[in-house]
Structure 1
Amino acid sequence: MRSDRPTWDDLVWGTEDLDLIWEAFHENSKSTAVDDALPNYVVVDWMTRMKNALPYDAFAAIPLPPVAILPPFRLGLGEAILARQTPRGIAPASMSFAMLAALLFYSYGINRPNEATPFPRPLRNVPSGGALFPLEIYFHARSAVESLAPGLYHYNSEEHCVRRIVNRDLSEELACCLFQPEIVRGAALLVIQTALFRRNTVKYGDRGYRFTLIEAGHVAQNINLVATALGLGVWNVGGFQDRALDRLLGIDGINHSSLYLQAIGEKID
């Protein structure tokens, strides 16, 4: 028998109908048995025409060290999982170019072709809905990263290279985008995940937006574990001003928008 006493939800949210955006999104992105699905040939055509990474061909490519000579991990997988924690602080201590390459490759690098299936996109070090890989990886390096001039860079996983797309230190501009600006000032490296949503939504509709957010979590966890295994500290950052950061990256913030930041440096425990 139903009690007339108010529930916890009644006390917190009230009994009136609320226009909750998160609730509307979750409802609209649910899958059903009657959802329309694109035919495979349409998906294959889209994937064939879609680049694996945004082209920044006007900027010189800086090759990353081959995967075979990336630095060894100090910890095994189980040890890294148990050791991962948000440090009390991080400092912009020196980071080798090979360590940077390891962070980029193991987080979102290509690890094998996909020739045995009708879908032509090569596969990476994270699962991705339909192997569509909607994310792009940018990073801001300060002088603490060996062999790299300060600036904003883009990672091209297919070419295993980076390109410097802004040729100056943006530390203070980036700090102004964060609600905790000291995070940027203490980092040797700031990794920025962005998403081209249409890469996923063309096949999955609103559900593709949900898949994109899930994939960003996969990449972020890889970065956490690789950094921990290399002896580095990571601060995972969701508190930033989206529009300001998008403007700084030169992206429109609608079709292509920032999702997730991670500041990496020497641990201060």
Structure 2
Amino acid sequence: MPEHQESIAQYYHDRTKYHPETIAAKSQGLDWSKQPVPFKEYKIGTSYDLKPYIQEENLAFSDEPVALWWRRLSRLLFCSYGLTAKVPSMMNPIYLRAAPSAGGLYPAEVYLVSRGTPLLPAGLYNYQPQTHSLVHFWENDVWHSLQSACFGHPALEKTDLAIITTAVFYRSAWRYQDRAYRRIFLDTGHLLGNIELACALNEYRAHLIGGFADETVNQLLYLDAEQEGAIAVIALADLLDVQQNFPLGITALPSATQTNYPYIPDGELLSFCHHATQIEPDADTHEVPNATSNTSLEDKYNFPFCLKVSTETAPIDWGLNLEGLERTVLRRRSTRVYSGADLTLDELKALLDFTYQPQHYIEQGLDDAPDYFDLNLIETFIAVSGVTGLEEGCYYYAPLAQELRQIRFKNFRRELHYLCLGQELGRDASAVLFHTADLKSAIAQYGDRVYRYLHMDAGHLAQRLNLAAIYLNLGVSGIAGFFDDQVNEVLGIPTDEAVIYITTIGRAK
């Protein structure tokens, strides 16, 4: 196989970029006869019905220890990935879930692994959103195997439950072809954001594990690795058990960086990239990034002589026992049309505060340092078209300094419409937020697997942004389809920053 200058992650990213000259040729009509089913069915196993524990009439019994335990687990799963609405469609109805998904395709599956508790026997469980139940499809103890696959991660030493999210690749690839790999990990990031907050609502702490032996976890779950793959492992620490309150661990491990690969035909790029970014069971994991690497010393960009606007603000009040947050998770919807009316600067500050300043919410019972893979790798730029009290233009957001730094002076509505593939959301939004990353530098730290980490972190941040916007009665919608290179050129974003995700914010029409 030939030696390439760029790694497989860089190659994949470049190959799946949208370009104005070629996007029409890449667009294909959907074969509705092959539309994937967004649910997995297990025909054998014991079913645990979780619905009674979220029904209002049963709340009177929630003080009973057994009922309380089930209620916490039931609410955690429902707020993470439960069905929240049914939308009629031409072919089959679309069942919306607590976490957003590109095209309503929901590639993620959620598994629960139990070490063995008095109420949940050891083994493997699949979460069934359509019935809000758990199917116990494998009854043997697999906890030791999970620990081994996660290279002895300390979070699995004292916990009894873990969530594993997987992706059924065809669910997204049916519509988005090879570029679906990006969307799968953005969708997983949305889900991780929900899991993090749902844990806080129910006295759990989510310990994120991105470094694991893929093949081992796939085999543990009895997955067909050509069709589905493990994406993230989350150890669930029960905060009501003092033994499960322990320090944070390493969330991300590096993989190899592959530069020897053949020409990969269209339609095979997604699968090849996923296998190339796996960690082998015998990988040397002794030399890993520092577990405290999420705390950087300074913001990356500090442009001289630019306008700087402080974003310091009072935190959003989520109400007694975070009731406002739970309601928001369950009523969240992606906005389809904006009115074009302005936001206020205070509203934009509030959105940024909840998304990037979790330490401001510890008094409300939220985690002051939730797990990400490495936020040092993610940068944020905001194109402002209509924010009262803020000049139009493109800004860099410096989360440590808590300020916006203007890098370009212009109203970009017309250009944003073009950059977002003609979607009116880009044109009519009041502000458009871009998550970017220096892909070459990130690969140097974590190998090709960092491509997964970047998209999951961007999706996680975007989900916090989504929820804050909905709570403030604003509109919000993510966009994963855009002209990659033109974004940097038009907005003045440095050329070494690869655009990972776009979130539009405005007033819903």
Q: TM-score, normalised by structure 1?
A: 0.76
> What does residue 256 of structure 1 align with?
497
> What does residue 379 of structure 2 align with?
136
Partner AA of 2:463 in structure 1: Q
Aligned CA distance change for structure 1 residues 173 and 78 (closer, same or farther; 3 Å): same
* Contact persistence 2:358–2:370 (CA under 8 A): no
Structure showing greater relative contact order (alpha-carbon pairs closer than 8 Å, 6 or more residues apart): 1
* Contact persistence 1:127–1:218 (CA under 8 A): no
Q: In the alignment, is residue 80 of structure 1 matched against residue 328 of structure 2?
A: yes
> What does residue 178 of structure 1 align with?
420
State how many pairs are aligned. Answer: 238
* Contact persistence 2:312–2:353 (CA under 8 A): no
Partner AA of 1:136 in structure 2: E
Q: In the alignment, is residue 93 of structure 1 matched against residue 341 of structure 2?
A: yes
Q: Which moved more, 1:154-163 or 1:173-182?
A: 173-182
2:409 to 162, 167, 173: 167
> What does residue 55 of structure 1 align with?
302
CA distance in 2, matches of 1:215, 1:184: 22
Aligned CA distance change for structure 1 residues 37 and 45 (closer, same or farther; 3 Å): same
CA distance in 1, matches of 2:370, 2:291: 20
Q: Which runs of 5+ in 2 are unaligned?
A: 1-35, 37-169, 175-263, 361-366
* Contact persistence 2:421–2:481 (CA under 8 A): yes
* Contact persistence 2:338–2:475 (CA under 8 A): yes
Aligned CA distance change for structure 1 residues 224 and 141 (closer, same or farther; 3 Å): same
Q: Which moved more, 1:170-179 or 1:101-110?
A: 101-110
Q: Give the drift of 1:251.
A: 4.2
Note the aligned Cα RMSD (angstroms).
3.1
* Contact persistence 2:335–2:476 (CA under 8 A): yes
Q: Which moved more, 1:244-253 or 1:99-108?
A: 244-253
Superposed CA offset, 1:188-243 (max 9, x none): 11111111235543332111111111111101111110100110111211121111
Aligned CA distance change for structure 1 residues 204 and 124 (closer, same or farther; 3 Å): farther
* Contact persistence 1:54–1:136 (CA under 8 A): no
Q: SS at 1:89's partner residue?
A: coil
Give identity over the alignment, percent: 24
> What does residue 102 of structure 1 align with?
350
Q: Which moved more, 1:226-235 or 1:203-212?
A: 203-212
Aligned CA distance change for structure 1 residues 189 and 46 (closer, same or farther; 3 Å): closer
Q: In the alignment, is residue 187 of structure 1 matched against residue 429 of structure 2?
A: yes
Higher CA-based Rg? 2
Q: Give the drift of 1:70.
A: 4.2
> What does residue 107 of structure 2 align with?
none
CA distance in 2, matches of 1:193, 1:202: 19
* Contact persistence 2:295–2:376 (CA under 8 A): no
Superposed CA offset, 1:16-74 (max 9, x none): xx74111111011111233344736x7599989874433324423211233xx245458
> What does residue 117 of structure 1 align with?
none
1:139-158 aligned within 5 A: 139-142=382-385, 144-158=386-400
CA distance in 2, matches of 1:127, 1:171: 35
Superposed CA offset, 1:75-100 (max 9, x none): 71111111111234112223221210
Q: Which runs of 5+ in 1 are unaligned?
A: 1-7, 13-17, 113-122
Aligned CA distance change for structure 1 residues 252 and 88 (closer, same or farther; 3 Å): closer
Q: In the alignment, is residue 65 of structure 1 matched against residue 304 of structure 2?
A: no
Q: TM-score, normalised by structure 2?
A: 0.42
2:444 to 177, 202, 220: 202
Aligned CA distance change for structure 1 residues 110 and 195 (closer, same or farther; 3 Å): farther
Q: In the alignment, is residue 30 of structure 1 matched against residue 283 of structure 2?
A: no
* Contact persistence 1:175–1:184 (CA under 8 A): yes
Aligned CA distance change for structure 1 residues 185 and 133 (closer, same or farther; 3 Å): same
